[in-house]
Amino acid sequence: MTMADDASRGSLAGVKVLEFTQMVAGPLAGTMLADLGASVIKLEGLKGDPLRFVRPQYKGMCAHFFAVNRQKRSIALDLKTEEGRDVARRLATECDVVVVNARPAAMTRLGLDYEQLKAINPNIIYVMITGFGLDGPYVDRPAYDQVIQSLTGAMTLQSPEGPPAPLRSMFVDKYAATVAVSAVNAALFHRERHGEGQFISVPLMKSFAFFSLVDNLHNQCFVEGEDRTPIINITRPFRASDGTFMGHVQTDEQLRQISHAFGLEDLTQDERFNSAVKRVQNYQALWQELEKGSIHLTSAEVEEMATRYGLPIGKVKTVDEFLEDPQAIHLGCVKRYDTEEYGPVRAAAHPVDFSKTPADTDGVAPRTGEHTVSILQELGFDDERVAALRQAGAIQ
């Protein structure tokens, strides 16, 4: 099978990926692999990924779907038919990596689990993204982002003095995707050295627990320790005359610099703030005092002082304002490029800059089954066999 790999596209050029994914975690992992040069086929049901039908939309394309599925090709198969399953198995024999976010039992019933695909492709790397892993008391539960946030303690950490509050972004799904990509790269390196593929399990619960608890397990780290710190916020927004900022004051030097910038030098002598521990204990009072100086400054003046004095503060911006942020523009955090079908589009850039094998995010998301026929032809299916699959209801 040829997939027109271009060695200049990235470090994973030549790697072939097959996705059995929908919604966010699995598709985003595939897109990040595609950014790095892999050729990615998204296998969908005949009705397509449910994310396709979420708003906002433009010309029948969902913005969320576009973001996590760009640079892929789509084949639409009915895996309830033997013909559809046979095509899926044929595809798996041609691929280096399979990415799945479905319950393990479902893939076993379809004959598309790791053991069955390994029998026909011994070097395959099979990544299964699940809510709760492969077994255990929650294995049959469906898992969504907010469910995992609630179970891992993240919501209570967000709002220790009030009702539980979710992180208002799909942190669980997006971090699981990042973990999966890291695991794929490690497995590809292992295969290069030892000549064997492997099975990779990425539970949403376990990956997000790592993300959340790295800095939130402090009171539970030393099992026999008695020192405990309360869960409190260590900062609060403060106002300029025409905007709102967030900042962080941890060291004595940072307090000295920000107090000088805001014309409040006496704060360095205030007993409430003369140590890092006291500043945390009295964080609300500290920022209330600092606001007495910042409220008389414009946002531009505060930002100029942040640069001049090396202050760890930043303006609270909307997404639209971030798109105009000079540092974001300098880093290329968001790419704007032209597409034939949708005109100019924006996409979050790949987060890593490579000196030799740059990532490439320019591309569009496929329509459901847009590449079904061309992919089948690459597998060696002639027009008669394609027509037979359509007659059997295995493809559109």
Residue 8 pLDDT grade (very low, low, confident, very high; cuts 50, 70, 90) = low
Tell whether the model's pLDDT for residue 249 goes beyond 60. yes
Clarify whether residues 372 and 308 are in a common domain: no
Clarify whether residues 316 and 347 are in a common domain: no
pLDDT tens digits, 157-168: 877 777 888 888
Tell whether the model's pLDDT for residue 231 goes beyond 90. no
125 falls within a domain: yes
Clarify whether residues 346 and 374 are in a common domain: yes
- Higher-confidence residue of 111 and 7: namely 111
Tell whether the model's pLDDT for residue 139 goes beyond 80. yes
**Structural domain harbouring 287:** 237-321
32 falls within a domain: yes
Tell whether the model's pLDDT for residue 232 goes beyond 90. no
Bridge partners (DSSP) of residue 73 are: 41
pLDDT tens digits, 172-216: 999 999 999 999 999 999 999 999 999 999 999 999 999 998 888
**Across 65-76, average pLDDT:** 97
**Half-sphere CA count of 275, side-chain side, radius 13 A:** 4
pLDDT reported for residue 3: 38
Clarify whether residues 207 and 108 are in a common domain: yes
Q: Using alpha carbons, select from 64, 73, 125 the residue that is nearest to residue 99.
A: 125
Number of domains in the chain: 2
Q: Using alpha carbons, select from 198, 318, 305 the residue that is nearest to residue 254.
A: 305
pLDDT reported for residue 117: 97
Is the pTM here over 0.85, yes or no? yes
**Across 298-319, average pLDDT:** 94
Neighbours of 240 (CB within 10 A): 20
4 falls within a domain: no
226 falls within a domain: no
10 falls within a domain: no
| Token pair of 81 as six digits | 């038919």
| End-to-end C-alpha distance for the chain, whole angstroms | 22
The whole-angstrom separation of Cα 62 and Cα 339 is 15
Final residue of a structural domain among 264, 293, 321: 321
CATH number, position 28: 3.40.50.10540
Q: What is the DSSP letter of 242?
A: T
Q: Which residue has the tokens 């032809």?
A: 377
Residue 169 pLDDT grade (very low, low, confident, very high; cuts 50, 70, 90) = confident
Clarify whether residues 386 and 343 are in a common domain: yes
Tell whether the model's pLDDT for residue 227 goes beyond 90. no
Helices (H), the chain: 25-35, 63-69, 82-94, 104-109, 114-120, 145-151, 154-158, 171-194, 204-213, 218-221, 252-261, 276-281, 283-294, 299-309, 319-323, 326-331, 372-378, 383-391
* Local structure of 298: helix, strand or coil: coil
329 falls within a domain: no
162 falls within a domain: yes
Clarify whether residues 295 and 358 are in a common domain: no
pLDDT reported for residue 44: 97
Clarify whether residues 247 and 384 are in a common domain: no
| The pairing of beta strand 334-339 with beta strand 343-348 | antiparallel
Clarify whether residues 278 and 349 are in a common domain: no
Final residue of a structural domain among 276, 295, 321: 321
Clarify whether residues 45 and 181 are in a common domain: yes
Clarify whether residues 267 and 129 are in a common domain: no
Clarify whether residues 311 and 349 are in a common domain: no
Clarify whether residues 205 and 349 are in a common domain: yes
**Across 140-156, average pLDDT:** 90
47 falls within a domain: yes
Q: What percentage of the chain carries pLDDT values higher than 90? A: 81
Final residue of a structural domain among 286, 321, 356: 321
pLDDT tens digits, 38-52: 999 999 999 999 999
CATH number, position 305: 3.30.1540.10
